[in-house]
Amino acid sequence: PLLLEHVNLNITNDSVGKQFYVDGLGASLNPVNTNSRQVHVNLGLCQFHLPFLYNIVPGERVEISQVWPGLIELITSEDVQVMKSRLLEQNVATSVCIRQAGNETIGRDDMLLVKGPFGNSFMITQTPDAGLINLVRRAGGHAESEKGPGNLLCIRSLTHTIEIGNSAVIANFYRSVMGFDVDEVMHE
């Protein structure tokens, strides 16, 4: 399977970004690439790049956070109930809920649905797959923080909601240029 190496999302507040992604979700802060312009957080083999100052006009702050138009799915080795408790304690997510296993439309283990402080929607599933956990740990991934690699293992998928009529062109790009598996789903 292909993994996205990183996703860029502009944020308006670096302190809130660190609190949500590191303290709340359990990613590890990348000490090498976090600087006075952006926050980088590691999720095993993947990253979020979170600029809060623009490159184009040096020193100009991001005024509107970038919201991914869909769902960002993450895989964790941590019990999602523990993550839920931590997120509620941190008070940085705007909504947090558990969707139970056996849901016919999802068909996965327990998962955590989270709306982050910048408006992005996350679905976090715990993997019972020790092989995946060991693979990520052995592969090394990105530079780790002093706290260790964290519990988030990777970005499993991105769902991008688009207007009707645009899916064929966009799906073809991701299949042919990026080599991704693409599912086109029509919701009424």
Q: What is the mean pLDDT of residues 40-57?
A: 86
Give the DSSP H or E segment for 171: helix 167-176
Shortest CA distance to 34 belongs to which of 146, 121, 122, 157?
146
Q: What is the mean pLDDT of residues 1-30?
A: 89
Of the ranges 36-50, 54-68, 91-105, 140-154, which is most confident?
A: 36-50
At 128-180, the pLDDT tens digits run 777 777 777 666 665 555 555 678 888 888 888 888 888 888 888 888 998 88
Burial of residue 142 (CB within 10 Å: 0-12, 13-18, 19+) is buried
At 74-116, the pLDDT tens digits run 988 888 888 999 999 988 888 888 765 544 444 345 788 999 9
Cβ proximity of 42 and 142 under 8 Å: yes
Burial of residue 158 (CB within 10 Å: 0-12, 13-18, 19+) is middle
135 or 188, higher pLDDT? 135
What's the pLDDT at 120?
A: 95
pLDDT of residue 63 exceeding 60, the answer is yes
What's the pLDDT at 64?
A: 94
Query: Strands, E, within the chain: which ranges?
Result: 6-8, 28-29, 38-43, 46-51, 70-76, 95-99, 111-115, 121-126, 152-160
What's the pLDDT at 45?
A: 80
